[in-house]
């Protein structure tokens, strides 16, 4: 939070221990299925959000991420499976009794209430007395940097302010966990980045678990402790953001999370997490191998993991021609042709060697750990 | 996104009597027309088509039916021509007094029927237009013009005035602009307007009552006069006929609604319909 | 006059009305739209403004306003009008709200079907509806037979030719006018508000009382006002379904005009009614304009 915030009362890393229950704040989905007719919107999903963890469901629209969140919140019934909150099954609990703070895409602030009344609403529903209600709402608004703005109606507030109100409203009743459904989608880029930082800081300070839904990979990368990539109602990969980014298991994940160069290959040998692959005109190389099995394979190398190398290098190197170079400010993007394949590489402007022009012959190389063997999906 | 929303079964059950309340009175009218006895009962004791043949054999009812059809014919033609052309004329144009012009065109819809009836009554007597269907038709046209105007205007809402200007700058004459730019757009509005005008006129009672004469008594006026004495099978037949017309109107509206995929767009129009209770 | 027309027209200002266009060169006369507008203006001037103008003139004769306002029958009919309209409006809005909520909660197909049920009486003329109610409410009608058949009453209740029948007939007539604006207000509510309220701890009743109801207040007021406006002009229904004590202001106007042939008095009453209705219509439009405040998006 950029604005001064009061120190939270809970110790950041161990809120659960303080509550005396190690599953307090956890969300668990066990073999959750949701079908509409013959169509499975969510298929056999297993997922755990540990206490204090920030987990992001990342996927394109229609991947089942929002449906999953709606089932956790209690707005959608499960076709089969179980949802546990704080370690207890909640399938029979209506949304109002699940004790989850939900922030919706367009904030869903009540337009006929002031910001303070919006924040007081969950307390009113819990029978908190008026005086106490007012005090806690004021504190919650102050925590999100809106002290003194409680009398405003939502329509008199900016998008960022509305989002803070929504956040205050979702947090004021000390929910077990926070569910965020694309809460930044309506904000412009600069404000979105600022809010991402603030939400992340607030989440750390409160030590609250968060289940976050987004289709924006940058948002997922910058905020999450763990990313769960979904596609067609299934989890295709999960892990720490940098891990998923650097080591996609399939070409779909590689493409969905950022740009990549996919080089079809034949696997010659796999051993101890390293594969020796035949890359055709790129020669033979060594790449990282996570053990994924399939019919056809490719090597994924992120544009920023390619770099210009000396022509003398013998391994993990290919020679090609520069097609174009475009300065993007902090970075330069080169398009190269290597063999019959067009690839993209990105390097920092600061480290650029001058005098590389179109049609220059260059050698590019990569390290074994930054090139990933993955399965090409049919 | 589909979501589980409470379906309020209790509210649905509570609403069943209300829907019955809405529909039953309209629904009984047709079977009642097949009543055999001289007095009206529902459900009918015995079914027969006696009343129906009686209705069509009765010169008084036949002349009322004819008068109604003539009056609504006048109303439909005048309303569609004047209301439609006014909507086209005002499309995309701003000029001082535009609001006043629109107000005058729409006002007849808002003035209570009995006030219009009294005004027409005095006016047509003073100009000596009495004893024919013409004044009734014209009066119905006055109150129908707003409907045609509004339906056509609703249809034009999606047409960019700049398109019309570019058509005329490309050399299209006034006639071609009308024929090829406006007509295709306003056709559904014209049909809806005609339907509204017909529906308004065929059911209108108060104005027609004030302007009636022995030679110009419309169907609702005849029904109104007779109903005060007795509930006769012929009134039932007349009612059944009007219900059939109403059902057709309804079907057309439902089709329009489904085609446009929007119930809301018809709401303002519907909410302003005839107010002759 | 022609200067308000399109700025695009290529030809210079030879467009004076009546001037011959250059031969063989199609040109859109800038005044064409006036030719389209003129008929309706002439028509309404002759057949709407003139009759209404005569009405206004008439009403100033013979101290008509003072006279009619002293007539106890007029006062009675005004009170009747207010009372019957208020009761009908209340019943219509309450029932209409229920219907609107039920329709709102259904899927698209059911919505169309239920709307059709609401619209059927809407398309039906008032006399047909009155006739049907007379048949249903008469001594040996369906309602009385049902009440007796169920053993609720011994003999037929007097359901016809009284104020009850008038209000039943009016509510039946007015329901569609209430359902549509209320439905529009409900449909404008963002679905997520309800989800948010439930996630924040609100049950069904709280969602309705604290979210849905307050957000539909503008729509309900609009519906109530619209229904009240229409109620004040009722003429046929009091005659067909009511008794002698249920005459409303419109009937009184008719009585003055066609029985007493007191046109000044009738005109004065008509203008008083118009005045009240105009004020209400102005209020109605204000509500409609302010009503967008809570709309989604």
Strand partners, A80: A33
Q: Which domains does chain C have, with CATH numbers?
A: 64-294 (1.10.3720.10)
Q: Is A316 left (phi over 0), alpha (psi -120 to 50) or beta?
A: left
Q: Which residues of chain A does B4 touch, with a Cβ-Cβ cutoff of 8 Å? A: 75-77
Q: Which residues of chain C does B166 touch, with a Cβ-Cβ cutoff of 8 Å? A: 8
In a domain, A9, yes or no: no
pLDDT score recorded for residue B134: 96
Residue B4 to residue A76, Cβ atoms within 8 A? yes
Q: Which of A245, A272, A303 is the last residue of a domain?
A: A245
Mutation for testing the C interface, residue in A104, A113, A156, A178 having most C CBs under 10 Å: A104
Both A162 and A27 in one domain: the answer is yes
In a domain, A320, yes or no: yes
pLDDT score recorded for residue C12: 37
Which runs of consecutive H residues, i.e. helices, occur in chain C? Answer: 32-44, 50-59, 64-70, 72-104, 108-123, 126-137, 142-149, 163-187, 191-199, 204-206, 213-232, 236-241, 249-254, 263-290
B192 in Cβ contact with B256 (< 8 Å): yes
As a three-state string, the secondary structure of chain B is CCCCCCCCHHHHHHHHHHHHHHHHHHHHHHHHCCECCCCCCCCCCCECCHHHHHHHCCHHHHHHHHHHHHHHHHHHHHHHHHHHHHHHHHCCCCCCCHHHHHHHHHHHHHCCHHHHHHHHHHHHHHCCCCCCCHHHHHHHHHHHHHHHHHHHHHHHCCCCHHHHHHHHHCCCCHHHHHHHHHHHHHHHHHHHHHHHHHHHHHHCCHHHHHCCECCECCHHHHHHHHHCCCCCHHHHHHHHHHHHHHHHHHHHHHHHHHHHCCCHHHHHHHCCCCCCC
- CB-based contact, A106 to chain C, within 8 Å: yes
Q: Which of A245, A279, A296 is the last residue of a domain?
A: A245
Domain count, chain A: 2
CA–CA dist A15, C110 (Å, integer): 49
Both A129 and A76 in one domain: the answer is yes
Whether the pLDDT of residue B3 is over 50: the answer is: no
Which runs of consecutive H residues, i.e. helices, occur in A85-171? Answer: 115-125, 130-143, 159-171
pLDDT score recorded for residue C297: 35
Strand partners, A222: none
Percent of chain C topping pLDDT 90: 62
Q: Crossing angle for the helix pair B219-227 and B183-203, nearest 10 degrees?
A: 30
In a domain, A324, yes or no: yes
Tell me the pLDDT tens digit for each residue of B72-113. 999 999 999 999 999 999 988 888 889 999 999 999 988 999
φ, ψ dihedrals at B151, nearest 5°: -65, -40
**CATH (one of 3.40.1080.10, 3.30.365.10, 3.30.360.10, 1.10.3720.10) for B58-270:** 1.10.3720.10
Tell me the pLDDT tens digit for each residue of B202-226. 999 999 999 999 999 999 999 999 9
pLDDT score recorded for residue C30: 61
Give the residue-averaged pLDDT of C86-110: 92
Percent of chain B topping pLDDT 70: 87
φ, ψ dihedrals at B44, nearest 5°: -65, 145
Both A273 and A231 in one domain: the answer is no
The range of the structural domain enclosing residue A301 comes to 258-375
In a domain, A217, yes or no: yes
Task: Please tell me which residue, C4 or A342, carries the higher pLDDT value.
Answer: A342
Both A369 and A338 in one domain: the answer is yes
Tell me the ipTM for this assembly.
0.86
Both A238 and A262 in one domain: the answer is no
Both A281 and A363 in one domain: the answer is yes
Residue C44 to residue B145, Cβ atoms within 8 A? yes
Both A231 and A361 in one domain: the answer is no
Strand partners, A48: A28
Whether the pLDDT of residue C9 is over 70: the answer is: no
Both A232 and A306 in one domain: the answer is no
Tokens representing residue C11 in the block: 């030809």
Task: Please tell me which residue, C147 or B42, carries the higher pLDDT value.
Answer: C147
CA–CA dist A45, A32 (Å, integer): 5
pLDDT score recorded for residue B204: 94
* Residue B244: pLDDT band with limits 50, 70, 90: confident
The closest CB to that of A125, out of C192, C202, C215, belongs to C202
Both A204 and A287 in one domain: the answer is no
The closest CB to that of C102, out of B12, B114, B126, belongs to B12
Interface of A with B in 36-75 (CB under 8 A): 36, 66-67, 70, 75
Residue A96 to residue C196, Cβ atoms within 8 A? no
Task: Please tell me which residue, A156 or B8, carries the higher pLDDT value.
Answer: A156
The closest CB to that of B42, out of C27, C142, C254, belongs to C142
Give the residue-averaged pLDDT of C117-140: 89
Q: Which residues of chain A does B1 touch, with a Cβ-Cβ cutoff of 8 Å? A: 66-67, 70
Tell me the pLDDT tens digit for each residue of B161-193. 777 777 777 777 777 777 777 888 888 889 888
The closest CB to that of A112, out of C198, C203, C294, belongs to C294
Residue B3 to residue A36, Cβ atoms within 8 A? no
CA–CA dist C28, C15 (Å, integer): 9
- CB-based contact, B11 to chain C, within 8 Å: yes
Tell me the pLDDT tens digit for each residue of C15-58. 333 444 444 444 445 677 888 899 999 999 999 999 999 999 99
DSSP summary character for residue A372? E
Both A319 and A265 in one domain: the answer is yes
| Chain A / chain C CB contacts < 8 angstroms | 67
Both A337 and A232 in one domain: the answer is no
Positions of chain A with pLDDT lower than 50, given as ranges: 1-20
Return the residue of C nearest to B222 by Cα: C127
Q: Which of A245, A277, A307 is the last residue of a domain?
A: A245
pLDDT score recorded for residue B257: 66
CATH classification of the domain holding A324: 2.40.50.140
Q: C-alpha C226: how far from its chain's center?
A: 5
Strand partners, A35: A40
Q: Which residues of chain B does C9 touch, with a Cβ-Cβ cutoff of 8 Å? A: 168-169
| Longest Cα separation, chain A | 77
Tell me the C-alpha to C-alpha distance, in Å, between residue B212 and each of A137, B130, C284.
70, 8, 34
* Residue B260: pLDDT band with limits 50, 70, 90: low
Rg (CA), chain B: 22
DSSP summary character for residue A296? S
- CB-based contact, A185 to chain B, within 8 Å: no
End-to-end Cα distance, chain A: 45
In a domain, A82, yes or no: yes
pLDDT score recorded for residue B43: 73
Both A273 and A237 in one domain: the answer is no
Q: Which residues of chain A does C202 touch, with a Cβ-Cβ cutoff of 8 Å? A: 96, 121, 125
B32 in Cβ contact with B43 (< 8 Å): no
pLDDT score recorded for residue A82: 96
Residue C215 to residue A122, Cβ atoms within 8 A? no
Q: Which residues of chain C does A155 touch, with a Cβ-Cβ cutoff of 8 Å? A: 293
Identify the CA nearest to B78 among candidates B130, B144, B127, B136.
B144
CATH classification of the domain holding A56: 3.40.50.300
Give the residue-averaged pLDDT of B214-240: 92
The sign of the torsion formed by the CA atoms of C96, C102, C108, C112 equals negative
Residue B3 to residue A66, Cβ atoms within 8 A? no
| Chain B / chain C CB contacts < 8 angstroms | 308
Please state which of the ranges A165-169, A355-359, B131-135, B263-267 shows the lowest mean pLDDT.
B263-267
In a domain, A253, yes or no: no
- CB-based contact, B106 to chain C, within 8 Å: no
Residue B119 to residue C257, Cβ atoms within 8 A? no
pLDDT score recorded for residue B264: 43
- CB-based contact, A95 to chain C, within 8 Å: yes
What residues contact A315, with CB distance under 8 A and at least 6 apart?
A285, A286
- CB-based contact, B247 to chain C, within 8 Å: yes
């Amino acid at each position: 939070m950029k604005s001064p915030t009061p120190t939270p009362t809970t110790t950041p890393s161990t809120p659960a221990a303080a509550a005396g229950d190690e599953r307090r704040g956890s969300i668990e989905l066990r073999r959750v299925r949701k079908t509409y007719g013959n169509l499975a919107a969510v298929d056999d999903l297993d997922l755990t959000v540990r206490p204090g963890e920030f987990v992001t469901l990342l996927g394109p629209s229609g991947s089942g991420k929002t449906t999953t969140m709606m089932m956790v919140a209690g707005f959608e019934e499960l076709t089969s499976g179980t949802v546990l909150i704080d370690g207890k099954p909640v399938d029979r609990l209506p949304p109002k009794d699940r004790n989850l703070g939900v922030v919706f895409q367009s904030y869903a602030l009540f337009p006929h209430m002031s910001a303070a009344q919006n924040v007081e609403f969950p307390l009113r529903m819990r029978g908190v007395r008026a005086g106490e209600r007012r005090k806690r709402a004021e504190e919650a608004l102050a925590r999100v940097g809106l002290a003194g703005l409680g009398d405003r109606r939502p329509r008199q507030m900016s998008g960022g302010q509305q989002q803070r109100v929504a956040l205050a409203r979702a947090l004021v009743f000390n929910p077990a966990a926070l569910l965020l459904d694309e809460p930044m989608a309506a904000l412009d880029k600069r404000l979105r980045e600022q809010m991402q930082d603030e939400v992340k800081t607030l989440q750390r300070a409160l030590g609250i678990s968060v289940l976050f839904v987004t289709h924006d990979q940058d948002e997922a990368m910058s905020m999450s402790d763990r990313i769960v990539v979904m596609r067609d109602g299934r989890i295709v990969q999960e892990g720490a953001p940098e891990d998923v980014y650097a080591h996609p298991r399939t070409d779909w994940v590689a493409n969905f999370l950022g740009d990549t160069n996919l080089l079809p290959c034949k696997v010659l040998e796999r051993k101890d997490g390293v594969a020796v692959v035949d890359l055709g005109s790129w020669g033979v190389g060594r790449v990282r191998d996570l053990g994924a099995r399939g019919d056809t394979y490719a090597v994924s190398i992120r544009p920023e993991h390619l770099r210009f190398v000396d022509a003398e290098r013998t391994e993990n190197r290919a020679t090609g021609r520069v097609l174009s170079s475009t300065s993007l400010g902090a970075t330069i993007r080169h398009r190269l042709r290597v063999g019959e394949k067009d690839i993209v590489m990105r390097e920092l402007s600061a480290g650029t060697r001058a005098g590389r022009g179109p049609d220059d012959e260059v050698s590019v190389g990569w390290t074994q750990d930054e090139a990933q063997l993955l399965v090409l999906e049919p | 996104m589909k979501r589980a929303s409470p379906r309020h079964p209790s509210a649905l059950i509570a609403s069943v009597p209300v829907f019955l309340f809405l529909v039953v009175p309209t629904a009984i009218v047709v079977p009642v027309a097949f009543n055999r006895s001289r007095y009206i009962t529902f459900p009918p004791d015995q079914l027969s088509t006696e009343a129906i043949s009686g209705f069509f054999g009765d010169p008084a009812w036949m002349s009322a039916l004819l008068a109604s059809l003539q009056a609504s014919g006048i109303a439909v033609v005048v309303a569609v021509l004047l209301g439609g052309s006014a909507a086209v004329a005002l499309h995309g144009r701003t000029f001082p007094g535009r609001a006043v012009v629109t107000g005058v065109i729409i006002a007849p819809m808002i003035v209570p029927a009995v006030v219009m009836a009294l005004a027409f009554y005095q006016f047509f007597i003073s100009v000596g237009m009495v004893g024919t269907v013409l004044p009734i038709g014209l009066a119905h046209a006055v109150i129908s013009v707003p409907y045609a105007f509004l339906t056509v205007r609703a249809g034009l809402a999606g047409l960019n005035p700049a398109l019309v200007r570019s058509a005329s700058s490309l050399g299209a004459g006034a006639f071609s602009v009308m024929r090829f730019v406006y007509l295709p757009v306003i056709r559904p509005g014209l049909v809806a307007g005609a339907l509204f005008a017909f529906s308004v006129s065929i059911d209108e009672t108060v104005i027609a009552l004030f302007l009636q004469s022995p030679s110009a008594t419309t169907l609702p006026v005849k029904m109104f006069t007779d109903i005060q004495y007795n509930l006769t099978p012929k009134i039932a037949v007349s009612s059944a006929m009007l219900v059939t017309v109403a059902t057709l109107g309804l079907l057309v509206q439902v089709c329009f609604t489904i085609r446009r995929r929007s119930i809301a767009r018809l709401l303002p129009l519907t909410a302003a319909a005839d107010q002759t209770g | 006059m022609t200067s308000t027309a399109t700025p695009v027209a290529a030809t210079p200002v030879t467009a004076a009305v009546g001037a011959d266009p250059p031969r063989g060169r199609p040109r859109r006369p800038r005044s064409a739209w006036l030719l389209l507008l003129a008929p309706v203006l002439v028509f309404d001037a002759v057949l709407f403004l003139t009759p209404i103008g005569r009405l206004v003139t008439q009403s100033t004769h013979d101290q008509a306003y003072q006279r009619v306002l002293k007539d106890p029958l007029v006062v009675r009919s005004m009170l009747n009008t207010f009372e019957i309209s208020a009761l009908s409006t209340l019943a219509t809005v309450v029932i209409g709200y229920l219907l609107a909520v039920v329709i709102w909660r259904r899927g698209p197909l059911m919505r169309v079907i239920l709307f059709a049920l609401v619209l059927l009486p809407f398309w039906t003329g008032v006399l047909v509806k009155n006739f049907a109610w007379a048949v249903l409410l008469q001594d040996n009608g369906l309602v009385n037979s049902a009440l007796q058949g169920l053993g609720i009453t011994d003999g037929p209740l007097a359901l016809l030719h009284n104020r009850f029948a008038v209000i039943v007939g009016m509510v039946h007539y007015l329901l569609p006018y209430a359902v549509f604006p209320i439905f529009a207000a409900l449909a404008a509510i963002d679905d997520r508000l309800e989800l948010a309220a439930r996630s924040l701890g609100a049950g069904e009743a709280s969602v309705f009382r604290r979210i849905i109801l307050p957000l539909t207040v503008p729509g309900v007021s609009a519906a109530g006002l619209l229904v009240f406006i229409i109620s004040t002009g009722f003429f046929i229904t009091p005659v067909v379904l009511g008794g002698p004590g249920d005459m409303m202001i419109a009937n009184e106007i008719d009585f003055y005009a066609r029985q007493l042939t007191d046109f000044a008095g009738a005109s004065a009453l008509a203008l008083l009614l118009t005045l009240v209705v105009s004020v209400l219509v102005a209020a109605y439009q204000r509500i409609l304009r302010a009503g967008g405040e809570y709309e989604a998006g």
